[in-house]
Structure 1
């Protein structure tokens, strides 16, 4: 029986962490290999196309995890737009605090760099935003928002979250998440959506 290792998973996790902290261009393969603890031969066995393939898998896993978190929050706040919004900001703020304000959004970091470097990776990041925003919009529709309002509110919420991460990293405080939660809650409280008691 061949010995199983977690070299592949470690490489993806390490790439995600480094992309979130320092971006795509500043993260070299040698650093990923060294910090993941994977032998170079093992790395290229798992990722024969090198950094591009690793980035693809890091993006896909990051998006899948983001969607899972949003779906979990949605399931726990069914029919309640206000509680949903507050819980999203609380969850993202907690992650920033846990990372000591080092982590940006992997998709946001790559979106700032990739258009001039790799069109296919750029499209992958764009799809990640679309797919995760769709989860938020679906929750708002379930709260009674019209499809148009659900879509626009979800897009605005995602934009606010991405901006909040940037500001939180600069100021090293999660205060911006609380501020945006209040503003977003006002929007969700306007006449139109159905909310549970």
Structure 2
């Protein structure tokens, strides 16, 4: 018999996969239950507020994982803005390849449809972008960028990565991530003091 905690974790994992593939409104509870193998009674035991509570937890887990990836790359490329950018591009490209270009960004997918549906979930997604972008900005500051430059570069990079993910998904190739890394190399060749 499946443990309750397994059913809960499987439901969250299924929601993350489905939200990344098809968004929030196109993902029904029946599909989540089928994907996770959780009985309906168990689902409501773990998520008494239903799909909204599941979405909150899916967003939180996805954002936490995203932030951990960014922190790990930052630690591995300390003091190296270009190396950091290349590694982020590589990580996003690898994620797309691993999903056979099926997965978009959960936060981006939900950000495109939630503002008219749920203010609380929208705010949660927005915090996810703010918090993960702050890690990128901190890395750039530690590379010698002035605070305003670090913030601007981080916002631009995160926006570019999200756009690149959409293009990679449509074209079914990671080539756009290499193009983004190459443009960053050209832009930053002269170092942070020249920005």
TM-score normalised by the shorter chain: which range applies?
over 0.9
Change (3 A) 1:56 1:40: same
Q: Deviations over 1:141-187 (max 9, x none)?
A: 00000000000000000000000011001100000000011112222
Q: Secondary structure of 1:115's match?
A: coil
Q: Within 5 A, what are the aligned runs for 1:10-159? A: 10-159=10-159
User: How far apart are the structure 2 equivalents of 1:161 and 1:66?
Assistant: 13
C-alpha separation in 2, matches of 1:193 and 1:173: 34
Partner Cα distance (1:122, 1:188) in 2: 34
Q: CA RMSD in A?
A: 1.2
1:36, CA displacement in angstroms?
Answer: 0.1
Q: How far does residue 5 in structure 1 lie from its aligned partner after superposition?
A: 4.1
- State the 1:4 CA deviation: 4.9
TM-aligned CA distance change 1:50 to 1:126, over 3 Å: same
Pairs aligned (count): 192
- State how far apart, in whole Å, the 2-side matches of 1:25 and 1:165 are: 21
TM-score by length of 2: 0.96
Change (3 A) 1:179 1:43: same
Whole-Å Cα distance in 2 between the matches of residues 17 and 63 of structure 1? 14
Question: C-alpha separation between the residues in 1 aligned to 2:153 and 2:186?
Answer: 12
Counterpart CA distance in 2 for 1:191 and 1:75 is 20
CA contact (8 A) 1:143 1:193 kept: no
1:172 maps to what in 2?
172
CA contact (8 A) 2:4 2:42 kept: no
Gaps of at least 5 residues in structure 1 are: none
Indicate conservation of the 8 Å contact 2:104/2:169, yes or no: yes
Q: Which runs of 4+ in 1 moved over 6 A?
A: none
